[in-house]
């Protein structure tokens, strides 16, 4: 497996000109997430929120509305918002896939699962041990740490495909036979058995992504506070800043000897 982050020389704050050197502790700043990645991240986060809330309400509708049916369209609006957000989610995902092809190497990480890379697995377990309080210090990463990459790959890369495919299959039932949704995704219904099972799996998919979101937000906030690199602000500014002098683990080509070399 190719290294996730091929060697990028550490930029000093003066060179990069983006970090705040005034604090004194920020020794390095590296531009990690390009604009399309950051825009996608926040649009996607909003889409997932809207899709989850409306999706839940489609399965568990609000209390009945009073008055004539002709005067109400609540369920219709909720479903409309769900479908509109779903299109944004799906088109955003295609755009993000495209950016993985043309963007920097950090943009590709979401779609990579280096299954055959033993070194990667080693660092994944090291990261897991740090979360279990068995390691004193986590490694530093310019991009995602292996544990984060692992969960993002399954929950967001694979999870989005699953939700888009099952979602459009369900949508095709309303769009009708012969619609493009039916031609592209209609085969999913008999694959699962019948429509009911697709609904059930679509629900479970939502919960899987929501569990990821809970862990993701917690880990990001916690890392921002406790670890030695910026996390949340990075997804806003695109710049990863490091709070101490140690070189990130994924900075160089994977030569363990290089790690621990002090730069500052």
Partner 1 sequence: MATLETFYEVMRRQGITRRSFLKYCSLTAAALGLGPEMVPQIAHAMETKPRTPVLWLHGLECTCCSESFIRSAHPLVKDVVLSMISLDYDDTLMASAGHHAEAILDEVMEKYKGNYILAVEGNPPLNQDGMSCIIGGKPFTDQLRKVARDAKAIISWGSCASFGCVQAARPNPTRATPVHEVITDKPIIKVPGCPPIAEVMTGVITYMLTFDRIPELDRQGRPKMFYSQRIHDKCYRRPHFDAGQFVESFDDEGARKGYCLYKVGCKGPTTYNACSTVRWNEGTSFPIQSGHGCIGCSEDGFWDKGSWYARQSDILQFGIEANADQIGTTAAIGVGSIIAAHAAVSALKRAQHKGDV
Of 243-262, binders to partner 1 (CB under 8 A) are 244
- Residue from 144, 152, 181, 161 nearest 93 by CA: 161
List the one residue from 189, 239, 247, 249 that touches partner 1 (CB under 8 A).
Answer: 189
Residue 105 binding partner 1, by CB under 8 A: no
What character string, x for contact with partner 1 (CB under 8 A) and - otherwise, covers 65-84?
x---xxxxxxxx-x------
Burial of 218 per CB tally in 10 Å (0-12, 13-18, 19+):
exposed
List the one residue from 143, 167, 186, 248 that touches partner 1 (CB under 8 A).
Answer: 186
Residue 197 binding partner 1, by CB under 8 A: yes
Listed as own residue / partner, the contacts of 97-104 with beta carbons closer than 8 Å and 24 or more positions apart are: 99/34, 99/36, 99/37, 99/40, 103/34, 103/36, 103/37, 104/34
Residue range at the interface with partner 1 (CB under 8 A); choices 18-26, 121-129, 183-191, 247-255: 183-191
As measured in angstroms, the least distance from the Cβ of 39 to partner 1 is 28
Task: Show Cβ contacts of residue 107 under 8 Å, excluding neighbours closer than 6 positions.
Answer: 33, 34, 36, 37, 99, 100
Residue 137 binding partner 1, by CB under 8 A: yes
- Residue from 168, 166, 160 nearest 193 by CA: 166
As measured in angstroms, the least distance from the Cβ of 145 to partner 1 is 16
Burial of 66 per CB tally in 10 Å (0-12, 13-18, 19+):
exposed
Residue 215 binding partner 1, by CB under 8 A: yes
Residue 264 binding partner 1, by CB under 8 A: no
Task: Show Cβ contacts of residue 156 under 8 Å, excluding neighbours closer than 6 positions.
Answer: 44, 110, 209, 212
Nearer to partner 1 (CB atom), residue 101 or residue 226 = 226
Reduced to 3 DSSP states, what percent helix, strand and coil does the chain have, rounded to the nearest 5? 60, 5, 35
Nearer to partner 1 (CB atom), residue 11 or residue 213 = 213
Residue 222 binding partner 1, by CB under 8 A: yes
Residue 86 binding partner 1, by CB under 8 A: no
Question: Six-digit token pair at 125?
Answer: 């377990």
As measured in angstroms, the least distance from the Cβ of 190 to partner 1 is 5
Residue 206 binding partner 1, by CB under 8 A: yes
Q: Which residues bind partner 1 (CB under 8 A)?
A: 56, 59-65, 69-76, 78, 131, 133, 137, 173-174, 176-177, 186-187, 189-190, 193-197, 199-200, 203-204, 206-207, 210-211, 214-215, 218, 222, 226-228, 244
């Amino acid at each position: 497996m190719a290294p996730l982050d091929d060697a990028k020389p550490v930029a000093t704050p003066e060179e990069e000109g983006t970090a705040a050197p005034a604090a004194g502790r920020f020794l390095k700043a590296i531009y990690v997430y390009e604009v399309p990645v950051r825009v996608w991240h926040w649009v996607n986060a909003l889409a997932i929120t809207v899709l989850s809330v409306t999706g839940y309400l489609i399965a568990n509708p609000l209390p009945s509305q009073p008055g004539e049916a002709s005067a109400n369209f609540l369920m219709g609006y909720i479903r409309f918002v769900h479908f509109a957000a779903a299109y944004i989610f799906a088109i955003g995902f295609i755009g993000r896939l495209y950016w993985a092809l043309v963007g920097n190497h950090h943009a590709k990480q979401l779609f990579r699962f280096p299954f055959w890379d033993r070194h990667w697995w080693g660092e994944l377990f090291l990261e897991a041990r740090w979360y279990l309080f068995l390691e004193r210090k986590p490694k530093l990463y310019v991009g995602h740490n292996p544990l984060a990459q692992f969960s993002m790959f399954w929950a967001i890369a694979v999870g989005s495909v699953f939700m888009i495919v099952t979602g459009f299959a369900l949508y095709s039932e309303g769009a009708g036979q012969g619609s493009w949704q039916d031609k592209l995704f209609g085969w999913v219904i008999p694959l699962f058995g019948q429509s009911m099972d697709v609904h059930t799996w679509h629900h479970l998919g939502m919960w899987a992504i929501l569990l990821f979101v809970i862990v993701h937000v917690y880990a990001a906030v916690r890392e921002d506070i406790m670890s030695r690199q910026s996390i949340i602000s990075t997804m806003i500014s695109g710049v990863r800043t490091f709070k101490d002098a140690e070189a990130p683990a994924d900075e160089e080509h994977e030569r363990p000897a290089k790690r621990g070399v002090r730069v500052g």
